């Protein structure tokens, strides 16, 4: 059906779709000092706007608003319909505390009280 529409109308519909995705999304990718809005997200990748984002590769951080979700190692997969598709080579959940290198006893005291 889109073959019958004039090019200006198709471009206007694509721009409106992209603006709606950008407005709805809270997800952001941070690569160094640059921040990009995620248009779509799925388990093994995400997409960014083709005109906004360069072809990223390497380690990036994924945020939901101000909450750090994960660190990801990414590669550019493909381009389709004004979007750049990226795939995760590796993704690690972000945690608030440092990992322990020992087993913590369930009955261990929480604090020591002085006399």
| Tens digits of residue pLDDT in 41-89 | 898 999 988 888 778 889 999 998 888 999 999 998 888 878 899 999 9
Tokens of 70: 């994960």
| Ranges of H-type helices in the chain | 7-24
CATH architecture of the domain covering 2-93:
Beta Barrel (2.40)
Distances in Å between the alpha carbon of 77 and those of 17, 18, 55? Answer: 22, 20, 10
Report the 10 Å Cβ neighbour count for 62. Answer: 21
- Cβ-Cβ contacts under 8 Å for 5 (sequence gap 6 or more): 13
Burial of 82 (0-12, 13-18, 19+ CB in 10 A): middle
Task: State the pTM of this model.
Answer: 0.66
């Amino acid at each position: 059906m889109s073959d019958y529409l004039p090019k200006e109308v198709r471009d206007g519909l694509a721009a409106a779709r992209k603006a709606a995705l950008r407005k709805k999304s809270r997800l952001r990718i941070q690569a160094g000092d640059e921040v990009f809005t995620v248009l779509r997200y799925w388990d093994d990748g995400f997409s960014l706007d083709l005109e906004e984002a360069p072809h990223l590769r390497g380690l990036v951080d994924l945020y939901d608003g101000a909450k750090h979700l994960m660190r990801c190692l990414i590669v550019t997969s493909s381009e389709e319909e004004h979007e750049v598709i990226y795939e995760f080579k590796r993704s690690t959940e972000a945690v608030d505390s440092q990992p322990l290198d020992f087993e913590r006893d369930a009955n261990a005291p929480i604090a020591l009280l002085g006399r």
